Amino acid sequence: MFKRVLIANRGEIAIRIMRTCKRLAIPTVAIYTAPDHHCKHVLLADKSELLTSDLGINPYLDMDAIMEVAERMKVDAVHPGYGFISEKADFSRRCEKEGIAFIGPGPAAMELLGNKLASREFMEKHGIHTTPGTLSPLTDAAEARKEAARIGYPIMLKAAGGGGGRGLRIVEKEEDIEQAFESARNEAEKAFKDSKIFMERRVIRPRHIEFQMVGDSKGHGFCLGERECSIQRRNQKLVEETPSTAVTDEMRQELFPKLADALVKSGYQSLCTFEFLMNPAGELFFMEANTRIQVEHPITEQVIGLDLVEMQLKIASGKDVERELGEVHPWGAAMEFRINAENPFNSFFPSPGRIEKYIEPSGEGIRVDSHAYEGYMVTSDFDSLLAKLICYGKDRNEVMRIAKDALDRYTLTGIKTTIPYHRLVIRSQAFRTGNYSTDFVRDHQPTELIKEESFSLYEGGH
């Protein structure tokens, strides 16, 4: 398949990719920065290289520095993971030019679907509804005011060049539009070097549903099911599950072929995620596409029985995967709980520091993807994600039972983490009924969840 793969990432996802590469007997090269010299992915790779940058930026974003390592180590493929350079079409193009396989989509498909405005227009042309809004960037605050009056308040101003809540502003009334527009534009420029802003009508109390797509190297498209990602803080996901309790079999039968057809028409090859909002009436509106592997991909793996990183590797090397993907029949249910170094009792504020004690739960129906260990120094240099607890079983009720037990046994001390909040979520009536929205965290703060329950919160993971 490949002789040597450079993993252009760090932490949990780097280790996740290495695990598949080792199973397939593919040697790996890790890169790391000075603050990451103690990271587990550095030790687990076959070879590790210190990455530095002369550009005054995070070295994991320095494409020249990464390519220098790739060429020096004579790798024939690069896996970007998620974040950092994973959705940079210029890097995909650079790999193509240098004769190194980019384990992800080609630059043209990435530019089409990875651009929020272009992808919205593309999906509309293929019969997939988007939220009412603009299909081109807003020129100034005056145009924003005019478009908001046409669309109707409340609206959202969103950065065209990125996501994660940066460059996003919710505007409830006309008098706030000018300040919100300038603030969103400035933040977008700072975060993404792209100040373009567009507008969408805000869907009230939506659910966040995403669909796992795969395009193979032979011109076929597949939808491998959906994931519910509505439990979020600051537009960042905390808990994901599959299948969604809000998506019916009728909806799947109608939508899956449309999504697969759109993916094929885009010329896309590799994993991709189509993200939607669902309003209280059950209508789905396309938001954006993520042109990379998702943090929450393990729950899809558990219900379809395939290794999605292996699928990426096979597609990038030109192997035929049509039969494997065509025979997928999701079974059972799965949930993922993101273990972040954050204090849920203090507005999920970051909690760097040294991990004193670390014990992962194990057993049937439990999987942990992590780069944490006892003595690990969590810094504020990178994302706060330490681990992902994945639980799976024959149905949602069994998964909740497994997750409750696993969370109670997950021990991580020395810093604050999201484990105590997850323990509250899995016990809350709103989550257990499956009837919740992206307002869940706002409506169910930790102190309020404790009041709702009669149990004593076990603090072993706090």
Q: Inform me whether the pLDDT recorded for 460 exceeds 50.
A: no
Task: Catalogue all structural domains in the chain, each as residue range(s) with its CATH number.
Answer: 5-103 (3.40.50.20), 132-201 (3.30.1490.20), 207-452 (3.30.470.20)
Provide, rounded to the nearest whole percent, the portion of the chain with pLDDT above 70.
98
What is each CA distance from 49 to 13, 31, 94, 390, in whole angstroms?
17, 5, 20, 31
Predicted confidence at residue 403, as pLDDT, reads 98
Predicted confidence at residue 461, as pLDDT, reads 44
Q: Which position among 292, 338, 423, 427 bears the catalytic label?
A: 292
Q: Give the pLDDT mean for 447-455.
A: 68
Q: Inform me whether the pLDDT recorded for 166 exceeds 90.
A: no
Checking 305-309 for CB contacts under 8 A at 24+ apart, the result is 305/331, 306/224, 307/20, 308/212, 308/214, 308/271, 309/16, 309/17, 309/20, 309/79
- Banded model confidence at residue 453, pLDDT cuts 50, 70, 90: low
Distance of CA 339 to the CA centre of its chain: 14
Predicted confidence at residue 163, as pLDDT, reads 74
Q: Give the pLDDT mean for 23-50.
A: 97
CB 368 within 8 A of CB 390: yes
- H-only helix segments in 241-370: 249-265, 297-304, 308-316, 322-326
Q: What is the residue-wise DSSP string for 65-128?
A: HHHHHHHHTT-SEEE--SSTTTT-HHHHHHHHHHT-EESS--HHHHHHHHSHHHHHHHHHHTT-
Burial of 326 (0-12, 13-18, 19+ CB in 10 A): exposed
Strand arrangement of the beta sheet that strand 221-233 belongs to: 284-290, 270-278, 207-215, 221-233, 236-242, 333-340, 385-393, 366-370
Q: pTM of the full predicted structure? A: 0.94
Provide the phi-psi class of 377: left if phi over 0, else alpha when psi is between -120 and 50, else beta: beta
Predicted confidence at residue 458, as pLDDT, reads 45
Residue-wise pLDDT tens digits, 324-367: 999 999 999 999 999 999 999 999 999 999 999 999 999 999 99
Whether 292 is a known active-site residue: answer yes
Predicted confidence at residue 454, as pLDDT, reads 45
CB 302 within 8 A of CB 330: no
Which of these, 84, 74, 69, 86, lies nearest to 30 by C-alpha position?
69
Residue-wise pLDDT tens digits, 110-145: 999 999 999 999 999 999 999 999 989 999 999 999
On average, the pLDDT of the chain sits at 95
Q: What are the residues facing 391 on neighbouring strands?
A: 335, 366
